[in-house]
Amino acid sequence: MKPASSLQKRLGLGLTLGMTLLWLGATVGAWVVVQHELNEVFDSALEETAQRILPLAVLEIGNRDEPRQARHIAPLKVRKEYLTYLVRGAKGEILMQSHDADPSIFNPLPVEGFTTTSRYRLYGASALREGVFIEMAEPLAHRREAAQEALFALLLPILALIPISLLGTWLFVHVSLRSVRAYRRAIETRGVGDLSPIKVDRLPAEIDPLAEAVNHLMERLRKALEAERSFTANSAHELRTPLAATLAHIQRLRREAPEGPLQVRAAKIETSLQALTRLSEKLMQLAKAEGGGLLSEAPQDLVPVLAHVVDECNHAAGQRVHVVLPAARSVLSAIDPDAFAILVRNLIENAMKHGAPDRPIEVSLSSQALLRVVNAGPVVPEPILRRLTERFVRGESGAQGSGLGLAIALTIAQGVNATIALVSPATGKQDGFEVIVQFVLGR
């Protein structure tokens, strides 16, 4: 799957690129107009100058002793001329020329009006019934330089505009998407079992219906899960009393029955009923594990709960469970004490049931809220180990069970953001089985 691209990045780049292109288009348009106008102004200056100089030149030539003698007009200050001119007779003989004028750049014979050569713009005008001509020349490079400067002046702001636009769009989109980010955080930070509606103020109109739809979906999911859970819990609960009553009847029947096949059959029924009672008990535990309320509002001390469960188990199974509690004497975590007790009880019960019967069980809780339950016994192969936390999946153990204990432990761990790991052989040993649960330390 392609990684999702950032809306902020796309808007920032897209808007900046679009704006730059528009600006460039506008610049080219403006430049064409400016160039046209510049040409008009330069042409009119050329024409005006020629019209001014011509009468003076005619007067000057008329006053000469030798009228047909060419003369250079010295400038007031010696500098390079932008405009140069020639005053010629009808046959092309030069009568007067400006200081920098180069006759080779002019037409061979005088021409009236505007003409353009490869390097110059020329203008010609005549006087004395086309007896005297003046021609002005202006280098085209001069005009090009003016046009280029105009172009630079138009282009220069773009350089500053690109980073400003990128930054501006980025900031604007960043601020506009604040509520969307808050929505994302609200989804990310919620626990696995939390299906309550997500409320975020002032979502954009495009996202708001999506958030509504997600809330509707979660509500329907929550109702469906709740119905399933309450059905499991209720049926397990409803089964409890009749099961206990039937078990009592069967036990009485067994005692009263004469030695023989009837007693054997009664014993079998008793065993099945006990398995059924355990199954309904496990189903109730699973329903609780899947329901909300696994997290406690205030952090709870896990040490006394663990000590109590271990005591209970030792009482029932002849002091096989050795417990190591942290020196700190108190380990706080935000887990419901009942849920913690169910988890620990399932793990210790497994160790007693499936582990080597004559070996001790080691239970420890570190000050970092790391719980370990270790027992001796044959190594469980990796492929089986991986599937043991699934519901109704059992290993190669000969002991009775429904295959729900580890699934209950995993569901509780996930509900309180704890991690659970099954290890076989146990850490630092050749055989055995170890369950490691890392709870989140509460502050």
Ligand X SMILES: Nc1ncnc2c1ncn2[C@@H]1O[C@H](COP(=O)(O)OP(=O)(O)OP(=O)(O)O)[C@@H](O)[C@H]1O
Residues that bind ligand X (CB under 6 A): 278, 282, 350-351, 353-355, 375, 377, 380, 388, 394-397, 401-407, 433
Toward Mg ion, which CB reaches closer, 113 or 398? 398
DSSP class per residue in 32-92: HHHHHHHHHHHHHHHHHHHHHHHHHHHHHHHT-SSTTS--EEPPSS----SSEEEEEETTS
**Six token digits for residue 33:** 């107009």
What is the rounded CA–CA span in Å between residue 61 and residue 50? 16
**Smallest gap, in angstroms, from Cβ of residue 221 to ligand X?**
26
**Smallest gap, in angstroms, from Cβ of residue 312 to Mg ion?**
16
**Smallest gap, in angstroms, from Cβ of residue 441 to ligand X?**
25
When binding is defined by CB under 5 A, the residue of 193, 405, 415, 432 that contacts Mg ion is 405
Toward Mg ion, which CB reaches closer, 84 or 346? 346
432 touches Mg ion (CB under 5 A): no
Q: Is the dihedral of CA 236, 237, 238, 242 positive or negative?
A: positive
Among 265, 246, 241, smallest CA distance to 254 is for 265
Which of these segments, 184-192, 226-234, 327-335, 403-411, binds Mg ion (CB under 5 A)?
403-411
Toward ligand X, which CB reaches closer, 258 or 398? 398
Cβ proximity of 140 and 115 under 8 Å: no
**Six token digits for residue 347:** 């793990």
Q: Is the dihedral of CA 307, 312, 315, 317 positive or negative?
A: negative
Partner in contact with 425, chosen from Mg ion, ligand X, none, beta carbon below 5 to 8 Å by kind: none
**Smallest gap, in angstroms, from Cβ of residue 389 to ligand X?**
7
- For residues 341-400, which are near Mg ion according to CB under 5 A? 350
**Smallest gap, in angstroms, from Cβ of residue 178 to ligand X?**
46
**Smallest gap, in angstroms, from Cβ of residue 419 to ligand X?**
17
Toward Mg ion, which CB reaches closer, 106 or 433? 433
Cβ neighbours of 433 (radius 10 Å):
27
3-state SS assignment for residue 225: helix
Partner in contact with 404, chosen from Mg ion, ligand X, none, beta carbon below 5 to 8 Å by kind: ligand X
Cβ neighbours of 346 (radius 10 Å):
22
Helix ranges (DSSP H) in 177-301: 178-188, 208-256, 261-290
Partner in contact with 380, chosen from ligand X, Mg ion, none, beta carbon below 5 to 8 Å by kind: ligand X
Toward ligand X, which CB reaches closer, 124 or 395? 395
* Residues near Mg ion (CB under 5 A): 350, 405
